[in-house]
A and B are shown apart, each in its own frame.
Chain A
Amino acid sequence: ELKVEQNPLFLSMQEGKNYTIYCNYSTTSDRLYWYRQDPGKSLESLFVLLSNGAVKQEGRLMASLDTKARLSTLHITAAVHDLSATYFCAVLTGTASKLTFGTGTRLQVTL
């Protein structure tokens, strides 16, 4: 059974600081997704990482994938309050494009 672990589970950071969220998974997969969820809202797709060594950037967020280490990172640069949300990684699992989600990292950016 595939397990997906994120850490930290909760992150409080000041505006302007940098930080990294980690996503580890237990079995082989070559595709990983990052989503953002605002409180009481749906999930918004941020990144689709397709292969080993993939790196994608959008604004202050950069995601990378190391399939050999079974590790993805979501790096936040110079955080701003608008980035406050819960971030989920999800790993492609088996057939039918099924996803296994991590438990999420709740990010709180303070002034």
Chain B
Amino acid sequence: TQLLEQSPQFLSIQEGENLTVYCNSSSVFSSLQWYRQEPGEGPVLLVTVVTGGEVKKLKRLTFQFGDARKDSSLHITAAQPGDTGLYLCAGVRESSGDKLTFGTGTRLAVRP
């Protein structure tokens, strides 16, 4: 059983569409991060959220941390082909000290 479940696993959309990726757990997290990984490269940190209910925006990307700090979402507005990649959430559980645990990943393909 994965600690952090992401959905959907795969997503193929047309350029210009909006999408939301979810990261869910039954555990409470002290912080949660989102990474994007492009083919042939390592993950690159996009954002870190630490407060329940926190919303952060990065251009067309909006990240939200759930009020109970058990889940997070990533919303992309007007997706572009350059958004294509693997999106990973990663969190630090309150009960596990500093260990960072990664989610299963969502592979996004944006068609021109």
| Chain A complexes with chain B | no
